[in-house]
Amino acid sequence: MSLVGQKLVGQQMERAVRPRRSSLARREAWEGYLFISPWIVGFLVFVAGPMIASIALAFTEWNLLSPPRWVGLANFQALFTDPLFWQALKVTAIYAAVAVPLDLFAALLLASLLNQKLRGIGAYRTIFYLPTILPGVVTAVVWRWIFNPEIGLINNLLALFRIPGPLWLMSPAWALPALIIMSLWTIGTATVIFLGGLQGVPAELHEAAAIDGAGPWRRFWRITVPLVSPSIFFNLITGMIGAFQVFTLPYIMTGGGPQNATLFYVLYLYENAFTYGKMGYASAMAWVLFVIIVVLTVIQFRLSRRWVYYAGGEAA
Amino acid sequence: MNATFVTPRAKIRSLSWWTRVSRYLPGLGAHLVLMLGSLVVLAPVAWMVSMSLKDVNHLFDFPPQWIPNPIRWDNYVRALTAMPFWRYALNTIFVTAMSMIGSVGSSLVIAYGFARLRFPGRDQLFLLVLATMMLPFQVTMVPTFILFRYLRWVDTFLPLFVPLFFGRAFFIFLLRQFFLSVPKELDEAARIDGCSSWGILTRILVPQVKPALAALAIFSFIWAWDDFMHPLIYINSSAKWTLTLALNGFQSPLEPGAPVIHLMMAASVVVALPPVLVFFFAQRYFIQGVVVSGIKG
């Protein structure tokens, strides 16, 4: 390639200035498309194609065994009258509304603690990140036992204080709260992102505020939070999308139960597609999921103009 | 934060014992909170390891013993021989290696195109890359499955890594950021010396972004190793299970309370160990990658 390139450039040099430049630019453009071509192919085959295909599929009934049958809007009609669909939406919405802000707040507090110059701070950072590194399946398997009412770690600890623990994953009332509590354990990624944001907050601001008599709590809300608001925004968006992707934990720990108390959206989508073989119905669900995520993301971006502060002016 | 007040020396001498101690108190308080937090965070991990070493007759002791007596190392032998562990490990290693090669290699080439070459529509296409970063794969899961089924790739490893050979949006984004921080004069000098674009990428840019490549290699290792949903969808025959599928299959016939929890925990420790070790040894690169994604996100 390089030899050919040299030859080409050499030939072009002898010509007039304008044609040479434009043909160099053409060559560069041609190369550019060549370099990104894997992405273009991947985008068409694994993103755009499936997106279009799933629109078409959403209007069919198809169990993969017999040929697909056109059913018009029947899937969507069924979806909006399906109590399990609404249950899945409710479970996911509760999780997104409670776990995401809770985890963000905990991660920001933790990051502020970890952002100090203390002896052994590196060890603390490693410890708090450790749960995030564990495979989701391992986390699910271990926590399933930790929540075990009789021999689990949590109820054993509660028993030391003579508090009778709930049935956790076996109780319709406590299963979702159990998963929300558990989500606090894996806030490592958000914490690391906050740490990166906090390192851009000048220490002088805190010192000046401290001299003016602002306590740590006040400084946290008035200085830290506004200055790391871009990181909060990033974590909020990724956390929200993540909430709509929750699968492994309920699949392994509860199977969606008891009484569908932990039937997350993607879990129900998975069951429809791969347990019941309702490909059309699952595609309709996937499209609803897509619309929900787009709408929520757009709303977040709109709202962000009111509270996200970019030190360098508008964000790129 | 606490040692920043400049106090005249004379004044320091006049300070009471308590005032001097209290200057270190915020640090002490932070240590106390962090230590307590560490205990809470480590408790489930410690519990997992502790349970994995317990004798079957001591599983349900109350109050639970953190350090088991006797320590049963043979739980690990039993857990790993209860299933064809090495077969699952090899499957997982193969899929993980292919995922790493595919996603890092292709993203490197694609990111170079976006960062260094000018072509019409480049910025719009890059916005599209960013948009796909926010698209959960579950949205396209069903048609993608049908596509792979049509190709007769279901129950093979191919669906688990072939898509990664077409670039990973997050990696493309990250590498482009790193490429943009390398002075363009380096490329131009090389180009004048007759270096092709491919040569510039492999000989000039790759050595400059080695830390980023290390971070991406670690990310792709951990994601592939931990992946559960893709293998669950695509792998049917148990001979092709990955470790995460095996761990799930290991637990499913067990009722809660049945006394095999020690074996479950031993298997869990083994499955968790490789990503944890990789993280310990390459922490710096990994954290760097996470931070960049957040700052520029």
- Say if B155 is an interface residue toward chain A (CB within 8 Å): no
User: At A291, which helix (H) or strand (E)?
Assistant: helix A279-307
- Say if A295 is an interface residue toward chain B (CB within 8 Å): no
Residue A194, by phi and psi: left (phi above 0), alpha (psi -120 to 50) or beta?
alpha
Average pLDDT, chain A: 86
Q: Is residue B4 situated within a structural domain?
A: no
| Residue B113, domain CATH | 1.10.3720.10
- Give me A277's structure tokens: 């073989």
- Give me B181's structure tokens: 């921080």
Q: Looking at chain A, which residue has its C-alpha nearest residue B109?
A: A35
Does B144 share its domain with B67?
A: no
- Output the pLDDT for position A20: 55
Q: Within the 194-223 window of chain A, which residues sit less than 8 Å (CB to CB) from chain B?
A: 194-197, 200, 203, 206-207, 210
Does B192 share its domain with B87?
A: yes
All residues of chain B having their beta carbon less than 8 Å from the beta carbon of residue A143 are 44
Q: What percent of chain A has pLDDT over 70?
A: 91
Q: Is residue B254 situated within a structural domain?
A: yes
- Give me B120's structure tokens: 């019409």
Return d(Cα B74, Cα A302) in angstroms, integer: 58
- Output the pLDDT for position A274: 92
**Widest distance between CA atoms in chain B:** 84
- Say if B258 is an interface residue toward chain A (CB within 8 Å): no
Among the partner-chain residues A6, A35, A237, the one whose CB lies closest to the CB of B194 is A6
- Output the pLDDT for position A280: 92
Q: Is residue B1 situated within a structural domain?
A: no
Residue with tokens 């170079």, as numbered in its chain = B112
Residue with tokens 């674009």, as numbered in its chain = B197
Summarize the confidence of residues B157-174 as an average pLDDT.
93
Does B281 share its domain with B186?
A: yes
- Say if A14 is an interface residue toward chain B (CB within 8 Å): no
Q: Is residue B33 situated within a structural domain?
A: yes
Q: What is the pLDDT of residues A211-244, one digit of tens each?
A: 888 888 888 888 888 888 888 888 898 899 999 9
Among B23, B44, B75, the domain boundary falls at B75
Among B52, B75, B98, the domain boundary falls at B75
Which pLDDT band, with edges at 50, 70 and 90, does A265 fall under?
A: very high
ipTM score of complex: 0.82
Q: Decide: B243 and B269 in contact? Cβ < 8 Å.
A: no
Does B137 share its domain with B262?
A: yes
Return d(Cα B217, Cα B133) in angstroms, integer: 18
pLDDT exceeds 60 at position A190: yes
Among the partner-chain residues B51, B197, B225, the one whose CB lies closest to the CB of A135 is B225
Does B227 share its domain with B88?
A: yes
**Residues B35, A200, A133: CA angle, nearest 5 degrees:** 45
Q: What is the pLDDT of residues B54-73, one digit of tens each?
A: 887 777 776 777 888 888 88
CA distances from B23 to A91, A119, B91 (A): 48, 16, 56
Does B53 share its domain with B131?
A: no
Contact A38 B51 (CB under 8 A): no
Q: Is residue B173 situated within a structural domain?
A: yes
pLDDT exceeds 60 at position A56: yes
Domain membership of residue B147 as a residue range: 80-296
- Give me B147's structure tokens: 């596509």
Does B119 share its domain with B260?
A: yes
Does B113 share its domain with B240?
A: yes
Does B280 share its domain with B176?
A: yes
pLDDT exceeds 70 at position B12: no
Contact B264 A34 (CB under 8 A): no
**B63–chain A nearest CA distance, Å:** 7
- Say if A160 is an interface residue toward chain B (CB within 8 Å): yes
Does B259 share its domain with B137?
A: yes
Contact B143 A50 (CB under 8 A): yes
Among B45, B75, B105, the domain boundary falls at B75
Query: Looking at the DSSP assignment, which residues form a beta bridge with residue A69?
Result: A61
CA distances from B233 to A199, A215, B154, B157, B159 (A): 41, 53, 9, 11, 10
- Say if B203 is an interface residue toward chain A (CB within 8 Å): no
- Say if B27 is an interface residue toward chain A (CB within 8 Å): yes
Does B185 share its domain with B231?
A: yes
Which pLDDT band, with edges at 50, 70 and 90, does B296 fall under?
A: very low
Query: How many domains are there within chain B?
Result: 2
3-state secondary structure labels for all residues of A75-129? HHHHHHCCHHHHHHHHHHHHHHHHHHHHHHHHHHHHHHHHCCCCCCHHHHHHHHH
* Strand spans (E) along chain A: 60-61, 69-70
- Say if A54 is an interface residue toward chain B (CB within 8 Å): yes
Q: Looking at chain B, which residue has its C-alpha nearest residue A187?
A: B41
Q: Are strands A69-70 and A60-61 parallel, antiparallel or unpaired?
A: antiparallel
- Output the pLDDT for position B110: 95
Q: Within the 78-97 window of chain B, which residues sit less than 8 Å (CB to CB) from chain A?
A: none
- Output the pLDDT for position B26: 64
Return d(Cα A173, Cα A62) in angstroms, integer: 36
Q: Is residue B3 situated within a structural domain?
A: no
Contact A35 B110 (CB under 8 A): yes
pLDDT exceeds 50 at position B243: yes
**B17–chain A nearest CA distance, Å:** 22
pLDDT exceeds 60 at position A30: yes
Q: Decide: B286 and B218 in contact? Cβ < 8 Å.
A: yes
Q: Is residue B99 situated within a structural domain?
A: yes
Does B23 share its domain with B69?
A: yes
Task: Specify the length of chain A in residues.
Answer: 316
Q: Is residue B159 situated within a structural domain?
A: yes
